[in-house]
Amino acid sequence: MTIDTLTLQQQDAKHHLHPFSDFQYQNKPHTTHMISRAEGVYIFDNDGRKILDGMSGLWCVNMGYGNQSVHKAVIEQMEKLVYYNTFFGTSHPPVVRLSEMIADVTPEGMNQIFFTGSGSEANDTMMRLVRHYWASKGTPSKSIIISRKNAYHGSTMAGASLGGMSAMHAQGGLPIPGIVHIDQPYYYEACVEAGEAIDRAEFGRQAAQALEIQIDELGEDNVAAFIAEPIQGAGGVIIPPETYWPEIDRICKERNILLVADEVICGFGRTGEWFGSDYYNIKPDMMPFAKGVTSGYLPLGGLVVSDEIVSVLRDAKVELAHGYTYSAHPTCAAAAIANIELMHECNIIDRVKNGVGPYLSNKWKSLEEHPLVGEARSLGMLAAIEIVKDKDNFIRHENSSEVAGICRDHCFANGLVMRAVGNKMIIAPPLVCTNSEIDEILEKVWQSLDMTAASIR
């Protein structure tokens, strides 16, 4: 029996606390979108309304909804061995196979994987491993992690502290000690601040050199690692200038600092390579991942660690005092195996790199013709627009996040999930989108932008 939407909404408001929500929704339950079903790149609400999921759930349903091979693999694994752990000298076939499959697609020299239940846990694991590594090498003073403002690395104490979201730091006494944030390589924002277009390459170099300055200020002997998303996702799809990553890579190597590329969003195909690190041709020491590894079918995350780091930890002959009940959960591992098999079968990396990615990119650029759009940027299956009041002079609306919120609501009403982040509108559609589904996205974005312009007039 299906339950009517209002009853569901009211029951939801009674007992369910939503993440990243102010609890006012409990006073207006009818505003909650009740999603009941999904297929391909579409979600359906409880009343059967079809909505194109331009965010792949939360940047995770990369291979789309309803893949029977994944469903089947999960059921088969549940029937065989629904759960067991890999603590205390045990293992199981799914994690053996999955570790090998991941090692096959990671950058050279990165063949060791620690599993977690989420990206946040992967970053907590990273922080402990990084410090354990330097302590094992006899330099325990190397403990500070440098991150970036407006980064997102999760919601646990370490994840939210590593992240650079001021609203998150304002709650719960964050950041925890030992984390320092530098500026992000946000080119458009720098233009807004300057009131004119500035030199992109030079800005990218300078943004990277902020890391060098920060390391020197703290002293190289006190800094353990630098963490960054290859492309900032939750912060608003901030695509760094091409000069940024080579410079960061150089600085980390020269100053003997570990480089952590947070691949939770960029990993598993979103940039048209297996990892964002491949796209930028950087050589990280660790890569947290989650989301796309299972396409969100079941929760799984992990940390890819370089062979070199693991060899130091192995030689230290000390037990790693760290692990989660659901590290390497066999049923979640089975979902990941089937998902990665599907990625290979569909040749999805090549499709994003040479097919649908460039198709989206071309179409997306044309949004710059809209009077509300100051910049339309995209890379692979990540895209954003800057909503502005005066594009010639890089001036945003005074109430810019309100304007983006209006646009987001129009999108939803027009059958498209698109996110608003500050003044930005962003999408991260499933990698399996066809060109005609991209056309549909663009049509709905144009329509919603026109409606937004009318709403604010």
Q: Residues 33-62 vs ligand PXG: string with x where CB under 6 A?
A: -------------------------x----
Q: How far is the CB of 157 from ligand PXG (least distance, A)?
A: 12
CA trace torsion 3, 37, 332, 53 (10° rounding): -140
Q: How far is the CB of 123 from ligand PXG (least distance, A)?
A: 6
Q: How far is the CB of 48 from ligand PXG (least distance, A)?
A: 26
Residue 208 near ligand PXG by CB under 6 A? no
Residue 390: CB atoms within 10 Å: 11
Residue 262 near ligand PXG by CB under 6 A? yes
**Contact range with ligand PXG by CB under 6 A, out of 3-11, 215-223, 259-267, 399-407:** 259-267
Out of 29, 64, 107, 119, name the contact with ligand PXG by CB under 6 A: 119
Residue 290 near ligand PXG by CB under 6 A? yes
Out of 124, 212, 229, 247, name the contact with ligand PXG by CB under 6 A: 229
**Which lies closer to ligand PXG via its Cβ, residue 29 or residue 119?**
119
**Which lies closer to ligand PXG via its Cβ, residue 426 or residue 449?**
426
Residue 195: CB atoms within 10 Å: 10
Residue 115 near ligand PXG by CB under 6 A? no
Q: What φ, ψ does residue 200 adopt, rounded to 5°?
A: -65, -45
Q: How far is the CB of 2 from ligand PXG (least distance, A)?
A: 28
Q: How far is the CB of 266 from ligand PXG (least distance, A)?
A: 8
Residue 118 near ligand PXG by CB under 6 A? yes
Q: How far is the CB of 394 from ligand PXG (least distance, A)?
A: 25
Q: Residues 399-438 vs ligand PXG: string with x where CB under 6 A?
A: ----------------------------------------
**Contact range with ligand PXG by CB under 6 A, out of 1-9, 113-121, 177-185, 380-388:** 113-121
**Which lies closer to ligand PXG via its Cβ, residue 152 or residue 226?**
152
**Contact range with ligand PXG by CB under 6 A, out of 85-93, 114-122, 170-178, 188-196:** 114-122
Residue 233 near ligand PXG by CB under 6 A? yes
Residue 234 near ligand PXG by CB under 6 A? yes
Contacts with ligand PXG: how many residues (CB under 6 A)?
Answer: 17
Residue 265 near ligand PXG by CB under 6 A? yes
Write out the binding residues for ligand PXG, residues 127-186 only, by CB under 6 A.
152-154, 159
- Contact footprint for ligand PXG (CB under 6 A): 58, 118-120, 123, 152-154, 159, 229, 233-234, 262, 264-265, 290, 301
